[in-house]
């Protein structure tokens, strides 16, 4: 019968069951991770802060969207004025110079 050894990984604290004769891992148990417990008041405070951050991001996005319309309108007017003042000739290309 083969002999097995339980080994604990020093890095991740996982438990390995190793068959000594065959030199292979027979069984693996991942490490137990304990989650930090947060009190109700602390979690409520975190949720309020998240809500405030989301609200401020939404307001910023709405402000950018409103100013975007104004900026696009200004660019459009500039291009229209440039098109009206243009004489209609095509730009000279390198191939046209030969």
pLDDT at 51: 97
Indicate the SS3 state at residue 94.
helix
Q: What does the alpha-carbon distance between residue 93 and residue 83 come to, in Å, rounded to a whole number?
A: 20
Each residue's pLDDT tens digit in the chain (98 positions)? 568 899 998 888 899 999 888 888 889 898 887 777 888 999 999 999 999 999 999 999 999 888 888 899 999 999 998 888 877 677 778 887 76
Q: So what's the pLDDT on residue 53?
A: 96
Place of tokens 């660019």: 75
Q: Residue 7 and residue 11: Cα distance in Å, rounded? A: 12
């Amino acid at each position: 019968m083969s002999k097995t050894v339980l080994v604990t990984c020093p890095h991740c604290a996982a438990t390995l069951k190793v068959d000594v004769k065959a030199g292979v891992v027979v069984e693996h148990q991942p490490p137990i991770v304990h989650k930090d417990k947060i009190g109700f008041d602390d979690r409520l405070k975190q949720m309020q802060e998240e809500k405030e951050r989301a609200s401020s991001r939404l307001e910023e996005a709405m402000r950018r969207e409103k100013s975007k319309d104004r900026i696009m309108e200004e660019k459009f007017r500039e291009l229209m004025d440039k098109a009206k003042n243009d004489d209609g000739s095509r730009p000279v290309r390198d191939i046209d110079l030969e």
